[in-house]
Amino acid sequence: MAEKPAPKKNTSSKSVRHQVVDHTPIFGRINLILMVVGAAIIALGMFLMAGGKNADPNTFDYKEVYSNTRIVVAPLLIVLGLGVEVFAIFKKKG
C-alpha cells in the first residue's frame, strides 16, 4: 500500500519572534565630555600650527615660519588631543 503524503502545516499564522533591542548609549556622559575636550585641544593645535600671515609677502621671515609655537607647541597639542580621544573611547562607562 502506498504511503500517504504528510499533511501540510498551516502557514497562515506565522510565529513572529520579537527581538529585544538594547538602546542604551555606548558612551557615558564623561566619555562624551572627554571627546569634546580632546577635539577642542586638536582644533587649538591646528589653529596654532596655521599661525598668521607674513607682513610683507616678498620677504621670508624664518622666525615667523619656524617659531616654537608652530614647530613644538602645536604638534604636542595635537598629539595630546589624540591621546585624550583614545582615553575617552577606551574609558569604561561609569
Cell digits of residue 34: 572627554
Binning pLDDT at 50, 70 and 90, where does residue 1 land? Answer: low
3 found inside a domain: no
39 in a structural domain = yes
User: What is the total count of domains within the chain?
Assistant: 1
Q: Does residue 24 belong to any structural domain of this protein?
A: no
* Helical (H) or strand (E) element with 57: none
**9 in a structural domain:** no
Detail the DSSP E strand segments found in the chain: none
Domain that holds residue 69: 29-52+62-90
Q: Report pLDDT digits (tens) over 43-86.
A: 999 999 997 777 787 888 788 888 888 999 999 999 999 999 99
The overall average pLDDT reported for the chain is 86
Tell me whether residue 40 is in a domain.
yes
Query: Is 44 domain-assigned?
Result: yes
Helix/strand/coil (H/E/C) assignment for every residue in 1-23: CCCCCCCCCCCCCCCCCCCCCCC
